[in-house]
A and B are shown apart, each in its own frame.
Chain A
């Protein structure tokens, strides 16, 4: 943590941490405590008077079926984004780990979506799935399927899940590939000599050995789906149709900035903070574990 040898105590270390600490207090700690405080207040529609109401905002939220819907939707969304993105990334990484020729090319061609802004990713898929002009609805129509995510909530959900998973494949691919490449080749060779085919080797040796990576990625993907997909959803569906794609983060924004329900939005922020803290704790405990195993 601290170096055995260090500099004499002086004012200098305080000056060195000052910028970071000031920014943290002004833009992180203060707003977060404001959210905590506001979540206990009710303000009238004109912002003229506020009243301290204890946990009424939370009670109201938990009594609101729309909030529970958003909760469920968020979990479904996160789970499907993580599952879809990780499964395809693992498949591609397992293949890339085996090929010798062209693996550099494949890697380059699979990691660039990481750099695409979520909102831009939304625009790209918006265009492809546009119900009147898009390529995919045009193709689907030959199979007798009428695609319109602007009307059907399920299709809108499928579209945001697909777009969010697409963007995250790059990240998952890189980590899976690194995990696969760190497995000693002698293990695989021994299994091959014992007569295990490629499929069997994958499920009995390779897959269990990348499970730390899988778990780490699961947490990262859930955090991503929870908090970093705002741009994708805003660009693609704006939470619609009829709130079908409104996940928790989108609802905080919508209720706060569009609905101007400050207390309700703050209470939702507080709940989300609880979720992030929980996920961060899980992540850190896991990272510690990974270090001690090595």
Chain B
């Protein structure tokens, strides 16, 4: 604190509180909509305070299904999203750890060639090459399964660069000591490198889980079978249906379900989340 200006202090808190309210407003309205019944949600003005139907709506959305779904609820879509997010996060971390290990700790022909090949992935987001990527996935028979949902998204220059950076800060003496003690590459990787990058791995995991959970365009393209739908995709489908007969209490309950897991991850692992975000800034 440099000087004491009570009025300025008041303004600071006022701006921050307004910011928090504007940012939180849509989530609040979503929550409120998920606690009312269909009749109340069809009346203008819409409620701004929660009603009594939260658990009833939750039950309908999870178990009975709704128009726009196949009648069996969205529970399995949450499971699909979870599987997809975990597979993408694990997959990216594993292949990035091993490639960073190879690039930093081995001298071998084409080492830099591989490095640049990995770098290319940074320049080709899935959005700019969707059609040909879709064709490749279709030819490989990866439509409508977890392979197609996850493997094409797993290559990651960002994660590889981050682990490379982490490994470069690990003192050379550790490798010398490990070799004197007779440790081979696997032993060194498993007992020294991975444990030493533990917090980096955790921080990256938080970011990648959110990335995987929030995928929309890719699952939309590679799944046609309802049993493979993810919860985020379902929102888009329900909004399309909302043109004719909006069931806002159910749509918003679904939206709430899709938002809660990644938001909880950010809130409860805030430190790791912030670390991950700043480390992967490319």
B 117-161 contacts with A by CB, 8 A? 117-118, 120-125, 127-133, 135-137, 140, 151-152, 154-155, 160
A91 to B125, CA, bound (A): 31
Some 21 contacts from A to B, beta carbons below 8 A apart, are: A6-B106, A12-B185, A13-B108, A20-B95, A20-B118, A21-B117, A31-B133, A34-B135, A99-B12, A106-B19, A114-B273, A114-B277, A116-B263, A117-B232, A117-B262, A127-B248, A130-B246, A227-B125, A230-B127, A252-B131, A257-B221
| A287 interface hit (Cβ, 8 Å) | yes
- Per-residue contact bits, chain A 275-293, to B (CB 8 Å; 1 contact, 0 not): 0110010011001000000
- Per-residue contact bits, chain B 104-122, to A (CB 8 Å; 1 contact, 0 not): 1111100100100110111
| B226 interface hit (Cβ, 8 Å) | no
| B265 interface hit (Cβ, 8 Å) | yes
- For chain B, what secondary structure do more than half of its interface residues adopt (helix, strand, loop), or is it mixed? helix
Say whether A192 contacts B29, CB under 8 Å.
Answer: no
Say whether B23 contacts A31, CB under 8 Å.
Answer: no
Say whether A235 contacts B42, CB under 8 Å.
Answer: no
Which residues of B have CB within 8 Å of A272? Answer: 127-128
- Closest chain B CB from A167 CB (angstroms): 10
A35 to B5, CA, bound (A): 60
A108 to B27, CA, bound (A): 15
User: Closest residue to B156 on the A side, CB-wise?
Assistant: A20
* 10 additional A-B residue pairs with CB within 8 Å, beyond A6-B105, A126-B239, A133-B42: A1-B168, A4-B172, A24-B155, A25-B117, A126-B242, A127-B33, A166-B26, A235-B239, A269-B129, A272-B127
Q: Of A13, A27, A126, A227, which contacts B106 at CB under 8 A?
A: A13
A189 to B2, CA, bound (A): 6
A12 to B154, CA, bound (A): 21
- Segment from B55-63, B64-72, B197-205, B208-216 that makes contact with A: B208-216
Say whether A27 contacts B123, CB under 8 Å.
Answer: no
Which residues of A have CB within 8 Å of B270? Answer: 108, 111
- Closest chain A CB from B263 CB (angstroms): 5
How many chain B residues touch A (CB < 8 A): the figure is: 106
A269 to B221, CA, bound (A): 17
A96 to B1, CA, bound (A): 12
* Contact size range, A: 35 or more
Say whether A95 contacts B16, CB under 8 Å.
Answer: yes
User: Provided the pairs A118-B216, A126-B239, A280-B123 are in contact, do residues A91 and B24 lie with their beta carbons within 8 angstroms?
Assistant: no
User: Closest residue to A30 on the B side, CB-wise?
Assistant: B136
User: Provided the pairs A117-B216, A123-B251, A127-B251 are in contact, do residues A92 and B102 lie with their beta carbons within 8 angstroms?
Assistant: no
| B30 interface hit (Cβ, 8 Å) | yes
- Chain A CB within 10 Å, residue with most, of B101, B105, B233, B267: B105
Say whether B282 contacts A102, CB under 8 Å.
Answer: no
Which residues of B have CB within 8 Å of A231? Answer: 214, 216-217, 232, 236
Which residues of B have CB within 8 Å of A57? Answer: none
Q: Of B42, B98, B117, B137, which contacts A19 at CB under 8 A?
A: B98
Say whether A34 contacts B121, CB under 8 Å.
Answer: no
Say whether A280 contacts B122, CB under 8 Å.
Answer: yes
Which residues of B have CB within 8 Å of A114? Answer: 210, 266, 273, 277
Which residues of B have CB within 8 Å of A235? Answer: 235-236, 239
- Per-residue contact bits, chain A 91-109, to B (CB 8 Å; 1 contact, 0 not): 1100110111010001011
Say whether A256 contacts B130, CB under 8 Å.
Answer: yes
Binding site for B on A (CB under 8 A): 1-7, 9-10, 12-14, 16-17, 19-21, 23-32, 34-35, 38, 88, 91-92, 95-96, 98-100, 102, 106, 108-128, 130, 132-135, 138, 166, 169, 171, 174-175, 178, 185, 188-189, 192, 198, 216, 220, 227-228, 230-231, 234-235, 238, 249, 252-253, 256-257, 262, 265-266, 269, 272-273, 276-277, 280, 283-284, 287
- Chain B CB within 10 Å, residue with most, of A99, A123, A238: A123
- Closest chain B CB from A23 CB (angstroms): 4
Q: Of A2, A35, A95, A126, which contacts B131 at CB under 8 A?
A: A35
A68 to B111, CA, bound (A): 42
Say whether A3 contacts B105, CB under 8 Å.
Answer: yes
User: Provided the pairs A99-B13, A280-B123 are in contact, do residues A134 and B46 lie with their beta carbons within 8 angstroms?
Assistant: yes
Say whether A102 contacts B172, CB under 8 Å.
Answer: no
- Closest chain B CB from A53 CB (angstroms): 18
- Closest chain A CB from B107 CB (angstroms): 6
Say whether A13 contacts B29, CB under 8 Å.
Answer: no
Q: Of B3, B179, B266, which contacts A115 at CB under 8 A?
A: B266
Say whether A27 contacts B152, CB under 8 Å.
Answer: yes
Which residues of A have CB within 8 Å of B167? Answer: 3
